[in-house]
Structure 1
Amino acid sequence: MNLILMKSTPILHQLRIEEKLLRSSSENWCIINDGTSDPTIVMGVSGKVAELVNVEPVIRDGIPVIRRFSGGGTVIVDVGTVFVTLICSKGAVPGLQPFPRPIMDWSGGLYGRVFEGFADFHLRENDYAFGNRKFGGNAQSITKDRWIHHTSFLWDYDVKNMEYLKQPMRAPKYRLERHHLDFLCRMKDYLPCRSTFIEKTIAALSSHFTVKPVDKKNITDPIDTKHVSSTKLLTKEDLEAALSSPHESSVVQQLQL
């Protein structure tokens, strides 16, 4: 597995690299990005802006909103977020069926080893949680020959940033209609430092793969390739349209089959 370590890389650029590697590479990859430069909202491919985002303050404060290429929910990420992405060919993990639930269960076992001895880790529905409080949100995309599983880990978060997000209409049962601040927790309250988490994640991956560090400079910029990214930075006009049409139709992306 090729390992790319990044720090404070803008999440839009990270997502475009991920999509390129999913669509254009045949190798296995892990990308770890320790924080992103500016607070940014990231939505799943079929998310509806008006249902998920408090649009007026987002426009007022100039908060970027990205619609990524994969499914999953909506998050706001910033310098306190640690991102871990796994991009694999379907035969990379022996016996793993290339479907959402088996991939999710396998990842839960992987991170169970990472957090062993630190906290009461659980895979709850599609989230990573300590006890019954979420600290990691996941998204996936599965193509004909490959899959991607990417996670936003809340090492820390800014309480005021959570006000840009609405309470989702669809929520996991274990949330029990709790507000963001009662539902989420911070990894920094359980682990000694960010580097410990990153080191233990690499060690857990090494139990499944031969991990080989790769310099990000060796990855061709997605903008300079023939691959066209479907990850989109929404414009101010896109956001204003959501205000005027709160039931805007979702954007649907077909998985490559």
Structure 2
Amino acid sequence: MALPQAIKAGLPCMNLLRMTAVPILEQLYLEERLLRSSAENWCIINHGTSLPTIVMGISGRPSELVELKPVLRDQIPVIRRFSGGGTVIIDNGTLFVSLICNKNAIPGLQPYPHPIMSWTGQLYGQVLCEFGDFHLRENDYAFNSHKFGGNAQSIIKDRWIHHTSFLWDYDARNMEYLKLPSRAPKYRSARSHVEFLCRMKDYVPSRTSFIEGTIKSLGGHFSIRPFDLDELGSLSSSLSGSTKLLTRQELEEACTSQCVAVR
């Protein structure tokens, strides 16, 4: 009996889950569940999310990162995710790609933030270098000196996740909900959000070409197995995780504390 190609090639399996417009909160619930309770490798791709939403890192403070008055006025959801990294606002123009891997899945890759970031930079570089002057700049993906991809990571005992929000397109008005970060990469050079960011659609021919190129690039390291969302059941689970949708009360209290501090 012939052995499966993945076994003959000696490549680990990676489950590929493709989704469209799944709310980012549900996606994060799913990712945390798979990181902590699965023993398999996963690539999760989501085309956009249903509503504009702000997502902060696990240690993020709304008073320092978010323009709270307009966020409260316009009822913009704010999520604190389970991974580190910075703050983003995402919408239906955002592409999400998340890689969840066992620490031994990629030979020679040390399970620490910088080596993982370097590896993913090379992975996406294989896809994007033909479309523009692609760089991994500090912890961002950029064309020339303009960021289009923000990254976050979480590393646990035997596994890690690297997830990225790619700005295929964005509404410049939404960027007004975010404060300028107090800690920013040097290459930002104090530029505003709109001056600092770029849109992937201005460089890459189509979303499909980027996604298919990414899957092909992953195929050099894994045997890709398409996976159906229905096989996972409900995206949310009883697993007690760190991802949290902040309540209006929490945002109002942060806004009140901020106003008192300013006085």
Shared fold per TM-score greater than 0.5: yes
Match in the other structure for 1:228:
240
1:215-236 per-position Cα deviation (integer Å, ceiling 9, x unaligned) = 01111325344x1121000000
Aligned to 1:255: none
Query: So what's the TM-score if we normalise by structure 2?
Result: 0.92
Structure 1 residue 172 corresponds to structure 2 residue 185: yes
Distance 1:32 1:95 in 2: 25
Indicate the residue corresponding to 2:256 in structure 1: 244
Tell me whether 1:88 sits opposite 2:101 in the alignment.
yes
Q: What is the letter of the counterpart of residue 98 of structure 2?
A: T
The secondary structure found in structure 2 opposite 1:246 is: helix
Give 2:3's aligned residue.
none
Cα gap change, 1:224 to 1:45, in 2 (>3 Å): closer
Q: Structure 2: which amino acid aligns with 1:195?
A: T
Amino-acid identity (%): 65
Matches of 2:137 and 2:113 in 1, distance apart?
Answer: 14
Q: Distance in 2 between matches of 1:2 and 1:193?
A: 23
Structure 1 residues 118 and 231, CA, compared in 2 at 3 Å: closer, same or farther? same
Cα RMSD over matched residues? 1.2
Q: From the superposition, tell whether residues 199 and 247 of structure 1 become closer, same or farther in structure 2 (CA, over 3 Å).
A: farther
* TM-score with structure 1 setting the length: 0.94
Q: Distance in 2 between matches of 1:126 and 1:224?
A: 31
Amino acid at match of 1:245: S
Distance 1:61 1:105, change over 3 A: same
Aligned partner (choices 95, 118, 130) of residue 131 of structure 2: 118
2:158 alignment partner, one of 135, 138, 145: 145
Letter in 2 for 1:19: E
Structure 2 gap ranges (5+)? 1-13
Structure 1: how far apart are the matches of 2:121 and 2:237? 35
Distance 2:162 2:236 in 1: 22
State the partner residue of 1:163.
Answer: 176
Aligned residues: 247
How far 1:47 moved relative to its partner? 0.7
Q: Deviation string for 1:111-148 (max 9, x for gaps)?
A: 00011211110000000000000000000000000000
Helix, strand or coil: the match of 1:30? strand
Pair 1:190 & 2:200 matched: no
Q: 5+ unaligned residues in a row in structure 1: which ranges?
A: 249-257
Corresponding residue for residue 75 of structure 2:
62
- Contact kept, 8 Å, 1:50 with 1:247, in 2: the verdict is no
Which structure: larger Rg? 2
Match for residue 224 of structure 2? Answer: 211
Per-residue CA deviations over 1:180-213 (Å, capped at 9, x if unaligned) read 0110000000011111111111011001100000
CA contact (8 A) 1:108 1:128 kept: yes
